A and B are shown apart, each in its own frame.
Chain A
Amino acid sequence: MEEQLDAVPPLPPALPEPPVPAGPGLPSVPSVFEHRFVFDGRADEYFRIWIVNLALTLLSLGIFSAWAKVRSERYFYGSTRLAGVPFEYTAKPLPILKGRIIAVSLFSAYIVAGQYSLFMQLGLALLIAVLTPWLIVRGAAFRARYSSWRGLNFRFIPDYGEAYIRFLVLGLPLILSLGLLYPWVKGKQKAFIVENHRFGGSWFKFLLSPGQFYPPYLIAWGVLSAWMFVFSMLMFGVIMASGSVRSGEGPAGLLVFGMTAFMYLGYFVVLAFLAAAIANLIYNHIDIGGRRLRSTLKGRQLLWIYASNTIAILGSAGLLIPWAKIRLAQYRADCLCLLAADDFNDMLAERATGVDATAAEVDGLFDIDIGL
């Protein structure tokens, strides 16, 4: 499930954790076992991997970054165990390098185009927008395909039509509704990502309607709006402070900075709670062939980890990034478990079950992983 962890990025929203659905939602099999995700990665160990790979990336002008990514992913996957068996990340570096070269080229083309013609830049921006759903599908498919557990692979069904509807077409009502549909659209998108995943022959089901994404977002919006209202005016002081005769020295500069920091603080707090709530909401409504996940992330705990990570990273000139990543992964694993009545010995690979075996080989054609 490591890949699922990442499929739900430390994304924007959500407040208090909704109560974990207790027994009723679960399959009514006599004895359901709670299988905890166990993470045993160590900061000192990961630090060595991280710093050496970063140095090699710098020395190779970025080319080694694909190898660095694979080693880093393998460390986190391999350090996460479920029912005593670690996850495996089996991707090769070259496809990742290919994906990164494409991403960097697109981005550079976009920047360079801006120097010469606005029209060209708009065209490229449009191209990137049109490519986005495709890239999302490719990324998810790549990640799933190279994630495995107990010798079975995850898989993501590349349903491009549906991807374009949910990640592009739905943008129109979102804009027309002035953003009011945001939680609903987000819910549709998450449902798409979850429901197109398979583990071996087991299908992922999402037991949540998009409307149920509203409560956490609404609470977050309410709190954030109140906060923003108070401090938005002071934010523009930054503009003022730069370029003035006494730039950065005067009380105005300090005051404006203090207020801006205060405003971000509110943003930070809301974000942590929202992240916990949304992650719980999603994980707690995933059904994998009759097995259920349970996530019990706490907003307060997540906030503490984010805040202390931030301070540690700033105070160490970035050297504590590995430590920060390890403890975040640790906490996420600690809060996640799989409820299942069996011992996982009877799940079958897709080929064995004859489920939709056609798509697997198509993946190889555009075997790239986008995303820096």
Chain B
Amino acid sequence: MNAFKAHYFDGQSSRLHEVEVQRLDVHTIRVLGDGIDRSAVASSLRISPRLARITRTIEFSDGARILASDHPLLDQWFPQEDRLQRMVDRLERHAHAVAASIVLCLVVGIATFAWGVPWLADRIATRVPPGIEEKLGSEVLGQLDEYFGFAPSGVSQARQDELSARFDMLRADMPDARDYQLVFRDAASIGPNALAIPGGTIVVTDQLTGLFDNDREFDAVVAHELGHQQHRHALRQTLRSSFVLVIAALFTGDVSSASAIVVGVPAFLLQNHYSRGFEEEADAFAFATLAAHGTSPAWFAAAMRKLDDFHHDSDEDEGIAYLSSHPSSFARIAAAEAEGETFIAAHPELIRETPGYDACADEGICADEDEDSEVGDCDDADCTDAGESAGHDEAAAGADSGACDKSAVEGKKGF
């Protein structure tokens, strides 16, 4: 075959000419039909690169053009000069190349979100001037006050000073200690909670201070928030989320028009993923800080339990479906307890200052018949009255046995 049917346009008018394109010899092409009869040197014609089934265009130097369905003949008659496009076309038609492309894109995509975004966000976070971070922080606090009904604290000044003194002790050795400040707020809307706000401010709700009956639990929570501040988690989290938004918008922007929602869901999921890492980091920081101040990290576990219990109860009251088992919470409590055991192993003299320490069960100093059946080992011990119950650390002084602390801690895990 050395001819094919095509459409011819002269480039001056929109008139469509039904023509036949013939190859007279290797060098000469002739277009014939519908009032058209022109010949041209094949090498003076330019053919559009091959692309799927798309109509090919063969352009004359004067702007006239032939439009023809794709056909193997075309690439013999009019060699494609663009070698790059020719190669890409071959790849697009090659199943293995397509498969390899899928793998490559997925791997790069996952790596970008898993490592690229956090890395970039963290790099930028270190360069954000402290002034901007502080402004951001006061902005956030303002919004909390305005939209969440955060009210001035109802905690007495004396108590506030007492807790602030503990806070000052915890932060004393930290590099950016002077930037950190503790703020009290009455926030019924969110209940017991503590927030680390960009710029170094830590907000503690009255509901939180009221929830704990031991100041060491308060220390544990504050140490955790200090961990967030030390690692600038609030700012880094904000930056990460915005990067995810930008990247996702780039890829989905023109497909769904409402990129906000396309982007919102993965951004939220990733945010949760990222923040879990941050929580662990802050926890580890809290454990170290507590231990350095002679407080067992097990107090963090105690504080977490109380928070969990509180939220559990309030959920059921309000009838909100709630993920009743949140493994990450259990994992964190377990980690805190493990740290607590390590701590006690290193400082056996502090055994009495651990949460749930029961002088009766642990040291055998019981009053009368003991109701603590969990700790069977000590049931029949010769007991004297210690008058202390779980949750209070100010246990009566006495000889340190340590024999039963392990089972006491484990008993706690049933919560």
Q: Mark A81-106, 1 if CB is under 8 A from B, else 0.
A: 00001101010000000000000000
Quick one: which of B49, B257, B308 contacts A275, CB cutoff 8 A? B257
B residues contacting the other copy or chain, number (CB 8 A): 92
CB distance from B109 to the nearest CB of A (A): 7
Number of interface residues of A (CB under 8 A): 81
- Interface flag for A59 (CB, 8 Å): yes
Does B262 count as interface, using CB distance less than 8 angstroms?
yes
A246 to B221, CA, bound (A): 10
Which residues of A103-161 have CB atoms within 8 Å of chain B's CB atoms?
115, 149-152
For the A-B complex, the count of residue pairs with Cβ-Cβ distances under 8 Å equals 226
Tell whether A169 is near chain B: CB-to-CB under 8 Å. no
From DSSP, what is the main secondary structure of chain A's interface residues? helix
**Cβ A264 vs Cβ B279 within 8 A:** no
Interface residues of A in 234-265 (CB under 8 A from B): 236-237, 239-240, 242-252, 254-255, 257, 260-261, 264-265
Query: Residue-by-residue, is B104-130 near A (CB-CB < 8 Å gives 1, otherwise 0)?
Result: 111011000000000000000001000
**Contact partners of B67 in chain A: CB under 8 A:** 85-86
- From B221, B261, B326, A265 is in contact (CB under 8 Å) with B261
Contact A52 B9 (CB under 8 A): no
Chain B residues, CB < 8 A from A352: 12-13
* Chain A residues near B140 (CB-CB < 8 A): 239
CB-based nearest B residue for A314: B265
Q: Which of these binds chain A: B86-94, B358-366, B397-405?
A: B86-94
Q: Are A346 and B261 in contact (CB under 8 A)?
A: no
B172 within 8 A of A: no
Residues of chain B with a CB closer than 8 A to A357's CB: none
A344 interface residue (CB < 8 Å to B): yes
Instruction: Tell me whether A48 and B93 are in contact (CB under 8 A).
Output: yes
Closest to B98 in A: A48
Instruction: State how many angstroms separate the Cβ of B115 from the closest Cβ of chain A.
Output: 15
CA distance A54 to B144 in the complex (A): 43
- Cα A229 to Cα B311 in complex, Å, equals 28
CB closest residue in chain B, given A51: B101
CB distance from A314 to the nearest CB of B (A): 6
A152 CB contacts on chain B under 8 angstroms: 9, 11, 13-14
The smallest beta-carbon distance between B20 and chain A, in angstroms, is 18
Q: Which of B158-166, B175-183, B190-198, B334-342 contacts A (4 or more CB under 8 A)?
A: B190-198
Pick out which of these stretches binds chain A: B266-274, B375-383, B407-415.
Answer: B266-274
Task: Say whether A355 faces chain B, with CB atoms less than 8 Å apart.
Answer: no
Identify which of B88, B97, B256 contacts A309 (C-beta below 8 A): B256
- A52-B91, A345-B13 known; A250 vs B84 contact (CB < 8 Å): no
Contact B252 A321 (CB under 8 A): yes
Question: Looking across the interface, which residue of chain B has its beta carbon closest to that of A305?
Answer: B256
* Complex-state Cα separation, A249 to B325, whole angstroms: 10
Contact segment of A29-37, A71-79, A210-218: A71-79
Asked if residues A233 and B105 are in contact (CB atoms below 8 Å), the reply is no
